[in-house]
Structures are given as structure tokens and as C-alpha cells.
Structure 1
Amino acid sequence: AYPTGGGTSEPGFCAWSSPDLREWKPEGMILKLADVSWANGDPWAPDIIQRNGLFYFYFCSGSAIGVAVSDNPVGPFHDALCKPLIPYEEDMSSIDPKAFIDDDGQAYLYWGATFDGRLFMRKLNSDMISFSGEKKTIYEFDAHAYYHCEGAFIFKRAGLYYFMWSEYNWTTLPNLEEDNSYRVNFAIASSPEGPFKRVESRVPILSTDMARKIIGPGHNSVFQISGTDTFIIAYHYHHGDEIRFAALDTLQFGSDGLLWTLNPSETGVPPVPLSCGLTLDGTGPFTHEDAISFKAAYPSVAHKLRLVVNGEIVMEGSPSPLLNWNNASSGFKRVKLEAVNGSGSVAVSVPLDIDINN
């Protein structure tokens, strides 16, 4: 987990890790703003994504977005460009990045915070630190006298793309009456480039519950439990003071694929132990002549491992902590490990995204 704050008084970003989504430990600072030459504002709203064995950490400083890189999810990270990826905007619209890689390997960056209902998108190249094409307004609500939106997020499920954002007033005390309006909304599309359709009968999906003092919930992210159709939403809220709490809850979908309104649990999600993992032994991009090595972690009861690439099994055999994949064809590959035990149950790793060039 990569919060805006919580762990140090020095300007920068920290990480927290968990083996089961219940017990959490601090991993310390992963990026100091003192090491970012162009940074001239408070740090907030980071996002992280993996490709070719590297981790790309998108972050804000003031109203500008940067990108840092590391071969370890807990850093240390270094500024990849020594300049903003998205330059400073006086209207504070260059904040809240969200990176997304689709199944075909095309990457996108979504961002924005505006008072007229606009959020933005631009295609990323496979290096994850440069753009192709032009900036696009990905969502535009019919603005009225006051419509603030921020915190863009996108995920994919069963062929649908869910675009989420937080809206209305994010202020803290003493403006509690206004802060009640902060909430999470969503729209859907059949493409990551939209057009996104807002489903009025199902929105917002997360909003203030004054009776329970769950106030101003918002700026969410979503992740999938590997090998399942379970999607977890992470968000923050407060009880009417300056302290904000991080929360996890399970998203619910209707038979039509649309999200149901979420009733915050305040207890989190049940433990989800990590039982299967896959990491690259090295970094890419690779060529089709390379032998690509992976480090595998799996349950002791596993009697068979499968390497699955773009939905097809490319390797299958006895458990081993080191796997080598040879003669891979060129293109974008989404790779996961499946560990099968004697009863046939399967543990699945978080997928890795890899580029293989000619």
C-alpha cells in the first residue's frame, strides 16, 4: 500500500506491506522529495504499476506529476525523468495519476482534478515514462455551479471497463457540512478510451453515512484477488476530525455487471493469505531469443506448477523455485503462475506484464 502520508515527517512517500490484507507493517520511505529536483510542493496521491520486472511509481508534487522507477516494490525509487511527466498547471489539474495496462499491452495514464467535471487520459508508451498521442478528456460531466472531481481510477472485469472518481467537496473541518458531499462515483465503457456512461440508478457507490460517522469516503483504488472474481476497493474516510482512516471492502456486482452501492463494513475484508507468487529474475524488455527466468513461490502441498501466458499454459511440471521459459514469441505477455495441489485446487499468482521484442 502506498499512502499519501503515514510514516515519516520528511516529505516523500512510504510503503506498507501485508501477507493477508489484515496485518500490516511499514516498509519505510521509498522516495524522498529531496531527491526529486523539480519537486516544489507537498507529496500526495501516488500510484504504482509493474512492467518488465520494474515498478513505475507515479506521484504528485504540487500540481505536477512525476514518475520514479525501481526493481523492488518497496524501493528505493529514483526519479526516472528528472522533470515532471505532466507539467505544472496553476489550476491544480495535474494531480492524481492512475496507470493502467490493458490485455493487449497498451498502457494509459488517467489523471485530473477540476472544478468543471473533466478528467483526462493519455496513452503511455511501453517504457511507461513517455507518451504517445495527445491528451484526451476521458470523462466530462455536465458541469453546474460547482462540480469538483478528482482521484481517477480504472479497472477491467469481464470485458467492461469501470472508470471511477471522487467528486464534490474534499475539505476538512470546520467545513463538515460541505465535506459530507465527498463521495465515489463510476461510469462504464467497452473501451479504456470510453465513451464512459454514467449509470444514474447505481451511483454514487460510496458516500457519507452520518449516523455511523463515515464521512467523506473517497479517492479509491481497486485490486483483484488473483484467481478469483473478488475485487477489493481501498478508500479513506474520517469521523468528523482531521484523522483519515484507510479502509478495505469487497465490491459487489449485479448480474448486469454494474456495481452495487457499497455499505462500508468498518471491519475490512477477511484474511487473504498470499500462497503463490511469481517474480522476474531480471528486468526486460526481452527478445524472443532470451531465456526468461522466474522465481516461484508456492504452497508446500503443491504437486504441479503451470506457467500461464495470455491464458495459455506454456510450461507444466513439478514444483521448482526457479522456472525458465524459452523460445517465447514476440509481443506483450501477461504471465501468471498456477500451483495445483493433490485435490486439484489451484493457487494463482498476481500476473506479470512482459514485453518480448523480435
Structure 2
Amino acid sequence: MLLESTLSTFNRSGVNARIVYAGSELKDYLLKDLNSAYEVHHTELSIHNIETFLNDQSLLTLPDILLIEADFKGEWIQIVSNIKKNPLLGGMIIVVLSAFVNKQWKKKAISLKVHDFYNYPFPTEDLCERLSFLVKFKLIKPTLTELSGKVDVRYRLPAYKRTFDIIASGLALVVLSPLFLIVGACIALESKGPVIYKSKRVGTGYKVFDFYKFRSMRMNADKEIGLLSSLNQYTDAEKGKSAFIKIKGDPRITRIGKFIRMTSIDELPQLLNVLMGDMSMVGNRPLPLYEAEMLTSNEWTTRFLGPAGLTGLWQISRRGKEDMSERERKKLDNFYASNYSFWLDLKILMKTFPALLQKEKV
């Protein structure tokens, strides 16, 4: 059975929503009126690709509404059940449409907590009005805060790792305190602004925390990011969009900033994050909010189920290489989150210092 995936925007009704329509039996009956009322775009998918399609989306591209037809074999029940179990899809409105008579299906739909169930024949005007109502009053897309509440229950930092983090970060802060004072003075003398740069980052379980670095850029550099997108190392020429941002030859960096970045001294204040428990000595790098929101599809959520770290596989394996692709970096993050151990952490720490001496190309 072929499924029709229809993305539509409720422009004329005054309600903006992205809709995926999955089905073939009622396609001719519904799409004619939908096309007369709304701007409709559609592509074909098989029944086995619906979940794949949804899992490939991020918070920025998820559909707001799923209209799915009840196939005569009843496979829609398992599909909807899987979708409802996925926390990333918890805010999506689901309406089931049936061209077949089955008295048990509506009860099943109610038990699955779908937003509505329609048996053919039904007025398309009623469906459109119902969807408008659901969008206005029931549509709540999952936020990073909601995701953190769902994901965190599946992850706990091992006791050995937390103990090592406290000891290592505490000793490092004491030993490096003179360097902190010298670097702080240099930054303050070169340019106005705070010595320590603080930003919101997303770490383990999508938890958001304050992330510390020595300031290496001029003030208000964050506001200029949109003007520098063409210099992004990870920009895909075809897609024109990337989850990660790394600016080549970033003009916002100060002179002292270039030095502390090349030597990774700018990262040292994150030892405070490690001591406080926001991060670990080894793990996946915590991401800015705009990057984390691009990595909420099932394929990449694994990276957030491992510890956020000061250093990790990405730093020691591919750092500074211009042929480092976005997908390669995400695969490294997923691998570490699924396979980290005490001995792997030791290997990464031992290789981190040689990696710091690499010539930075980006």
C-alpha cells in the first residue's frame, strides 16, 4: 500500500501548521478539498517509511499534524503506538482516518490517545475545522526542557567517572590558578568586556547549563553569526544548513583569542563545569542551543545519552582537519555515548595533549 505524505500550510484559515498525510484510500476524496482551501504539497512514501521519515526530522522540521489512514491490515495501530512512545514526537497531533468499517478501531485509537478518529464518509469541512481547533489549543511541540525530563531518567553518570572528575578538575584548578590570572589580565587589557564568556549549552539528557570559556572574541560576537554562515566549515552546499557551526578564519577573534584558542587555553574554565557536575573530563562536547535543536532526530539523540565532556573522540581524532564532515562528527559522538569506559577515557585523555599541538586549520 502506498502512502501519500502531504505537507500543507493552513494559510487561508489563518492557522499555520505542517501536515503529513499518510494514506491512499481517501486521498482523492480529501486532497481535492484540501487543495481548494489550503496550499498543499505532497510526495509518496510506503507504509514502512513513515516512522523513518519522522525519525529523520528535527524539532525545526517535525510536522505539526499527522493524518494517517487506517489500513485494512491494521498496521496503523503499531505505527501509531511507536510514534506515541517516542518523546521527540510527543507534541505532534495525530488524527486517524478510516475508509474501512471496524468497530474496534475507534476504541483502539482512543486507547492510543490519538487526537481524533474519523470513519468514512465524513465532511471534509468538519475535518478542517477540527484540525484548526487542535492546532490552536492542543499543539505543543517538545522543547529541550521537556526532552531533558524524559531522557535524563535513562542516564546516570557512573560513580567512578564522577569521582575522577571531582579529583582531576579540583587539582587542575589549583595548579592552573596562576595561569588563569595571567590570561584574564591579558584579555582585559586587549578589549572591553568580561574575561569569562558564559553561554547556554545543552549537555547530557538535553539539560541546559551555563558553559564557561575565556573570552576569545570581541563583544557581541554572537549577533554576527548570521552574517558569517558562508564561512561555516560544516555547511552543506546542497542543503545549505548544518547542525554544527565552525567558522573558517573567524574575523571576530581577538589577537589573544587566537593564541588561547590555538593552545585550547580558552577551554580551561570548563574545569568549573566539570567540578559542578555539568560536564565530565571526557565526553561529547556540549552544544549551543541552536545546534542541539538540529540534533533531535532519533539517529542523533544517542550523543546526548552519554556524558558531556571537556575533551572527547572528536578532539583527538579529527580536530583541525578541513575534511571533517558533520556526519563523521555526529558518528563519533554516538560511538562514544554507546561505548565509553574507564579505559577509553584514559586513552582519550592521553591523546588529548598531542592533539592540542595540532595546527588548527579552522
Interval of TM-score (by shorter of Structure 1 and Structure 2): under 0.3
Q: Which has the higher contact order (CA 8 A, sep 6+)?
A: 2
Structure with a larger share of its residues in strand:
1
TM-score normalised to the size of structure 2?
0.21
Q: What TM-score comes out, normalization by structure 1 length?
A: 0.22
Structure 1 or 2: larger helix share?
2
